[in-house]
A and B are shown apart, each in its own frame.
Chain A
């Protein structure tokens, strides 16, 4: 599904990712953990195609295509979805219009017919219920006036609508209460499929109680310094990052 080889990325000339190697096979869920400032969010943004980051070396292959050669919108149409850590508010653009345009862009890319208004509405209402948001939100501006938890649930709602083959969750769990965390986890679990993969970037082990990963990686100073099974997350929860020879400012 996804192969990242020797990925180096910098922002404003400052190197952030310093040689990432990662392979995610179809159907797998990978958790990427690590202290603040380790490059977790940078990796998410780079995968989605944020042009603020300069790729200085390495490659990212999705299926058999070179992701780095695609603009952001094409990556999305190829099935990459990023659930943002901080989703932006766009007043004046309604959720409904936004979702419909997005879904139909992706559908037409794959040679599928655009959904008619009624079918789309039915789908949107079904998915918004699934993440426990008021259907009235569909008519509001994108994330406009949403609470932190509502924004995160809206990200999951979009993910359920667009059915990506590679979902990247960038700290979707941070700032959520237990109920909202369950909603998010249920959404991700509902999407799990032998042909779909998930990368969860998280600071906390808590999310992994609800979405059980196949692999856990520790990212520090721009490199993956340790990989293991789900038990690695528990070990990190218990011992912190210190035993790996790195400091976590958040836990210090």
Chain B
């Protein structure tokens, strides 16, 4: 039997614990650290990592001499709203701009009151052993931010959370968002840093964002994965929805050497609803892995999921969409759709819907397609005099633009459209 492959050294050595964290969190972190010795790097045999295990080799080039230095700046990409800047996982209080209207509260984990600390430390996250990167995050995070959107309040502008990593080494941002009862807000998570191509991965951003939606609350999460090639990114979004709450996510993923997003939504109480949209594009040798999971735990919950992916050149995209309808989740309504476009013979998209249904009175539909540009559509454009390359560009963009139009923030829509156009021009269509 082969020896278990470990995570690279750079991801295993830990800094001293932050003694200002509450006892419960320190304890959780100690447990996670104690397990680092035995934490296995996922391999192909690990179903969850089957198509992405190869990309994990890019972690080998990381060094652990993260300095955490350098001035953080708010990204100037046209996305506007309140802004929180994290650099190498640490909150930069001087950068960014927070609302002064007390609709929202941002608290370092060091200053959590007892009940908030309990909320954070009792998360189901710490009971899971199937998320090695989340375990890494627990072992390493040094601060952590708690964001509270206050009861029955509506945040008047989006709250942008900018994750910047200009440095070397790994960072472990950790966020806990509490939308209190009846609250409404839009969050924009923006992963930036290290533009330009480099031959090796120098940075890993390994983030965990937890969303807790209390009854009747409504949260929109826009997640923009825009960092440069050399930034490896493994991120987990873990949401728990209480009675009659609603979560909408819009993920825009641009490829890198190693990119992975796990989106796990638990519809925990009746009447909860989620809508998950995602657009993902890769080119060159890039990689992007989307793993989504919707747990219908309670009855009368709705879920809707739409992902569109485009892989060009010799890049690779994974979409794994799991819907799990528990035995007591009667009258569940689930719909998952994943459409994929391959722009070259060497590109690869691995898509796998996974439906597990244990209740009998449910509606659950799924559809998956993989295709190339539609010849009939292309011919139609050509008969109108449109040059072939331009026609191909229009159709490729059109394939994902339907979902981009659903992003409820105009600045983000514009940014994503620009990025997509740049992608199509850089890809060999």
Known A-B contacts A88-B377, A90-B377, A101-B390; A72 and B398 likewise in contact (beta carbons under 8 Å): no
Tell me which of B182-190, B298-306, B381-389 binds A.
Answer: B381-389
Question: Considering only CB atoms, which chain A residue lies closest to B397 in the complex?
Answer: A92
User: When the two chains form their complex, are residues A162 and B377 in contact, meaning their CB atoms are under 8 A apart?
Assistant: no
**Is A66 among interface residues, defined by CB-CB distance under 8 A?**
no
**A49's contact among B377, B383, B398, B399, by CB below 8 Å, is which?**
B383
Question: Considering only CB atoms, which chain B residue lies closest to A102 in the complex?
Answer: B384
**Is A77 among interface residues, defined by CB-CB distance under 8 A?**
yes
Within 8 A of A (CB), among B381-416: 381-388, 390-391, 394-395, 397-402
In the complex, what distance in Å separates the CA atom of A210 from the CA atom of B43? 71
**Is B380 among interface residues, defined by CB-CB distance under 8 A?**
yes
A-side contacts of B381, CB under 8 Å: 90, 93, 98, 102
B-side contacts of A197, CB under 8 Å: none
**A76's contact among B385, B394, B397, B399, by CB below 8 Å, is which?**
B385
Known A-B contacts A73-B382, A88-B376, A98-B381; A105 and B387 likewise in contact (beta carbons under 8 Å): yes
User: When the two chains form their complex, are residues A93 and B394 in contact, meaning their CB atoms are under 8 A apart?
Assistant: yes
A-side contacts of B385, CB under 8 Å: 73, 76-77, 102, 105-106, 109, 162
**A82's contact among B377, B383, B398, B401, by CB below 8 Å, is which?**
B383
B231 CB, min distance to chain A CBs, angstroms: 29
In the complex, what distance in Å separates the CA atom of A203 from the CA atom of B18? 82
**Is A87 among interface residues, defined by CB-CB distance under 8 A?**
yes
Known A-B contacts A88-B377, A92-B400; A102 and B395 likewise in contact (beta carbons under 8 Å): no
**A102's contact among B379, B386, B398, by CB below 8 Å, is which?**
B386
**Is A37 among interface residues, defined by CB-CB distance under 8 A?**
no
**Is A48 among interface residues, defined by CB-CB distance under 8 A?**
yes
User: When the two chains form their complex, are residues A49 and B382 in contact, meaning their CB atoms are under 8 A apart?
Assistant: yes
Q: Is the interface of B mostly helix, strand, loop or mixed?
A: helix
**Is A141 among interface residues, defined by CB-CB distance under 8 A?**
yes
In the complex, what distance in Å separates the CA atom of A87 from the CA atom of B381? 11
B-side contacts of A142, CB under 8 Å: 380
User: When the two chains form their complex, are residues B398 and A141 in contact, meaning their CB atoms are under 8 A apart?
Assistant: yes
A-side contacts of B399, CB under 8 Å: 92
Within 8 A of B (CB), among A83-103: 84, 87-88, 90-93, 97-98, 101-102
B-side contacts of A105, CB under 8 Å: 384-387, 390
**Is A50 among interface residues, defined by CB-CB distance under 8 A?**
yes
B-side contacts of A82, CB under 8 Å: 383
Within 8 A of B (CB), among A198-216: none
A-side contacts of B397, CB under 8 Å: 92-93
A-side contacts of B374, CB under 8 Å: 88
In the complex, what distance in Å separates the CA atom of A158 from the CA atom of B381? 12
User: When the two chains form their complex, are residues A73 and B386 in contact, meaning their CB atoms are under 8 A apart?
Assistant: yes
B79 CB, min distance to chain A CBs, angstroms: 23
Bits for A57-93, please: 1 = Cβ < 8 Å to B, else 0. 0000000000000011101110011101001101111
Bits for B198-237, please: 1 = Cβ < 8 Å to A, else 0. 0000000000000000000000000000000000000000
In the complex, what distance in Å separates the CA atom of A72 from the CA atom of B376? 13
B11 CB, min distance to chain A CBs, angstroms: 40
User: When the two chains form their complex, are residues B380 and A88 in contact, meaning their CB atoms are under 8 A apart?
Assistant: yes
Question: Considering only CB atoms, which chain B residue lies closest to A105 in the complex?
Answer: B385
User: When the two chains form their complex, are residues B395 and A90 in contact, meaning their CB atoms are under 8 A apart?
Assistant: yes
User: When the two chains form their complex, are residues B382 and A87 in contact, meaning their CB atoms are under 8 A apart?
Assistant: no
A-side contacts of B398, CB under 8 Å: 90-93, 141
Residues of B within 8 A of A (CB): 374, 376-377, 379-388, 390-391, 394-395, 397-402
Q: 7 closest A-B pairs (Cβ-Cβ)?
A: A92-B398, A76-B385, A102-B384, A72-B382, A93-B398, A106-B385, A105-B385
